Amino acid sequence: MPRIHVSAGTEVGVAYSRSTPEFIERNPGTVDYVEIPFELLCHDPAVATRVGTPVVLHCASLSIAGSVTPPSAVVSSVEEWIKRTRTPWLGEHLSFITAERDKPGEFADEYAPGEPWNIGYTVSPPMNSETVETVVRSVDRAMSAFSVPVILENPPVYFSVPGSTMSQVEFISEVCARSDARLLLDLAHFYITSRNLGYDPLVELARFPLEEVVEVHVSGVDTDAGGCWDNHASRAPQLELDMLAVVMERAPVRAVTLEYNWSSRFPESVLREEIARVREVVDACRP
């Protein structure tokens, strides 16, 4: 399987959807790589070879910010796919996926008392010093288990997380200062967090540890019931492209991934336009 040529500058790719192989076949040379979830490869291993391009591996199974460590079988499977895809790094969410149940509570499951719960969504953890310690330990374990670097993705924050004593930027900065983790900056998540918590994303971006950013995600957002949410089936707002320009000027970005993968009917012409928008920003910021 071909490897992403990260030394050639910033490359532009797309997140995998059912329509991705056909899009690449009809539009050769439009994208440099495809980002594929580890969980999808476990379900359908043929996806890795179906796209015909280099692969960047993404993951939502390590529960980096949680107290429940991933099973050794999961860790071994991730490493196997790291080698098979020849991914240059592993993107993982700075979130918790499983919640610990040491003692059965009032609403404990009778059929699985005390077992960890899989939340099924990448939830932002309480952002405080205790969680920083948890993340640092998780990163150290991952770095020793995997043959490529682990880069952490900022999750969207939809409300003030109970137990937090830090802003998300302060929390992520402290994780970087205390570990060898590098970052995957999801600009849609950053936009969502800023809107939901009421701050200027460009001002907050100036405080972000951009020097640690390896990969960037770009995708759509939506508003509903007074909140701002993820939407991988709509165009990114212009503000995300403005933020991308800021990031490109300061960060050693190796890859920008367009995450328009929630609908196989996302118009091919629109996807080409969105790729062109991103490439225009990337090319304008090249040395």
Q: Which of 24-33, 95-104, 203-212, 271-280 has the lowest mean pLDDT?
A: 95-104
Residues 6+ apart with CB under 8 A from 27: 268, 272
CATH 3.20.20.150 fits 6-98+116-284, yes or no: yes
| 157 closest CA partner among 237, 242, 229, 92 | 229
Mean pLDDT of 41-69: 92
| 111 has pLDDT over 50 | no
Side chain identity at residue 152, one-letter code: L
Checking if the pLDDT of 151 tops 80, the result is: yes
* Residue 108: predicted pLDDT: 52
Average pLDDT of the chain, as a whole number: 88
Q: Check pLDDT > 70 for residue 122.
A: no
Rounded to 10 degrees, the C-alpha dihedral 162/166/170/176 comes to -70
Given this model, what pLDDT does residue 285 score? 86
Share of the chain above pLDDT 90, in %: 69
Output the pTM of the full model.
0.90
Instruction: Kindly give, in sequence order, each residue whose CB lies less than 8 Å from that of residue 64, ignoring residues fewer than 6 positions away.
Output: 92, 93, 94, 95, 96, 135, 138, 139, 142, 152
Q: What is the pLDDT of residues 224-252, one digit of tens each?
A: 777 766 777 788 899 999 999 999 999 99
Round to whole Å and give the CA distance between 245 and 278. Answer: 9
Return the pLDDT at 170. Answer: 97
**pLDDT for 40:** 92
pLDDT in tens, 193-230: 999 899 999 999 999 999 999 999 999 877 777 776 67
| Structure tokens that stand for 37 in this block | 């979830």
Per the DSSP assignment, residues forming a β-bridge with 56 are: 35
